[in-house]
Structure 1
Amino acid sequence: MKSVAGVLLCVAIASVSTSVPVRAQEADPERVYKAAGAKASRPMATVAYGSSELQVADLRLPTGKGPFPVAVVIHGGCFMSSVDKRSGIAAFADALTERGYATWNIEYRRVGDPSGGWPGTFEDVAAAIDKLADVAPRYKLDMKRVAFVGHSAGAYFALWAASRPRLMKPWSNARVRPIAVAAIDGPGTLASFVGLDAQVCGRPVIVPLMGGTPSQKPAEYRLASPQDHLPLGMPQLLVLSDLADLMRPYVAAAKAGGDTVQTLTPPNANHFDVVTPKTPNGQAVVRFVADNLMPRRP
Structure 2
Amino acid sequence: MPASTDAALTWPDLTDRPRPAADATIAYGPDSLQVIDLWRPAADGPHPVVLMVHGGCWQTEIADRRLMDWIAGDLRDAGVAVWNIDYRGVDRSGGGYPGTFRDVAAAADRLRDEAGAHGLDLDRMVAVGHSAGGHLALWLAARHRLPAGSPLASPDPLPIAQVISLGGLPDLSAVAASPDNGCGTDVIAQLVGNRPHPFADTSIPPLLPIGARQILVNGREDAIVPYRFATDYVARAQAAGDPVELHTIPDTGHVALIAPGTAAWTTTRALVLAALAKEPA
- The aligned runs of 1:140-179 (5 Å cut-off) are 140-167=119-146, 168=148, 171-179=153-161
Q: Report whether the alignment pairs 1:128 with 2:107.
A: yes
Q: Distance in 2 between matches of 1:40 and 1:6?
A: 22
Which of 249, 257, 262 pairs up with 1:266? 249
Q: 1:79/1:2 Cα in 2 relative to 1: closer, same or farther (>3 Å)?
A: farther
Contact 1:2–1:270 (Cα < 8 Å) also in 2: no
Contact 1:146–1:180 (Cα < 8 Å) also in 2: yes
Contact 1:189–1:224 (Cα < 8 Å) also in 2: no
Q: Distance in 2 between matches of 1:118 and 1:200?
A: 21
Q: Distance in 1 between matches of 2:53 and 2:138?
A: 11
- The aligned runs of 1:94-109 (5 Å cut-off) are 94-109=73-88
Corresponding residue of 2:192: 210
Aligned length: 270
Percent same amino acid at aligned positions?
A: 35
Q: Distance in 2 between matches of 1:152 and 1:85?
A: 12
Q: Distance in 2 between matches of 1:268 and 1:61?
A: 33
Normalised to the residue count of structure 2, the TM-score between the two structures is: 0.87
Contact 2:166–2:218 (Cα < 8 Å) also in 1: yes
Q: Distance in 2 between matches of 1:143 and 1:88?
A: 24
Q: Report whether the alignment pairs 1:64 with 2:43.
A: yes
Contact 2:52–2:127 (Cα < 8 Å) also in 1: yes
Which is further off, 278-287 or 50-59? 278-287
Question: Deviation at 1:80?
Answer: 1.4
Question: Deviation at 1:46?
Answer: 0.2
Corresponding residue of 1:138: 117
The amino acid across from 1:237 in the alignment is I
The amino acid across from 2:190 in the alignment is P
Contact 1:5–1:32 (Cα < 8 Å) also in 2: no
Q: Distance in 1 between matches of 2:184 and 2:243?
A: 34
Question: Deviation at 1:166?
Answer: 1.3
Corresponding residue of 1:278: 261
- The aligned runs of 1:81-100 (5 Å cut-off) are 81-100=60-79
Corresponding residue of 2:211: 233
Q: Report whether the alignment pairs 1:55 with 2:34.
A: yes
Contact 1:79–1:153 (Cα < 8 Å) also in 2: yes
Per the alignment, in what secondary structure is the counterpart of residue 205 of structure 1? helix
Which is further off, 279-288 or 109-118? 279-288
Question: Deviation at 1:157?
Answer: 0.3
Q: Distance in 2 between matches of 1:204 and 1:65?
A: 47
Q: Distance in 1 between matches of 2:212 and 2:258?
A: 23
Corresponding residue of 2:55: 76
Per the alignment, in what secondary structure is the counterpart of residue 295 of structure 1? coil
Q: Distance in 2 between matches of 1:261 and 1:239?
A: 11
Per the alignment, in what secondary structure is the counterpart of residue 29 of structure 2? coil
Root-mean-square deviation over aligned CA pairs: 2.4
Q: Report whether the alignment pairs 1:196 with 2:174.
A: no
Segments of structure 2 that go 5 or more residues without pairing to the other structure are none
The amino acid across from 2:205 in the alignment is Q
Q: Distance in 2 between matches of 1:199 and 1:263?
A: 19
Question: Deviation at 1:47?
Answer: 0.2
Contact 2:21–2:69 (Cα < 8 Å) also in 1: no
Question: Deviation at 1:109?
Answer: 0.3
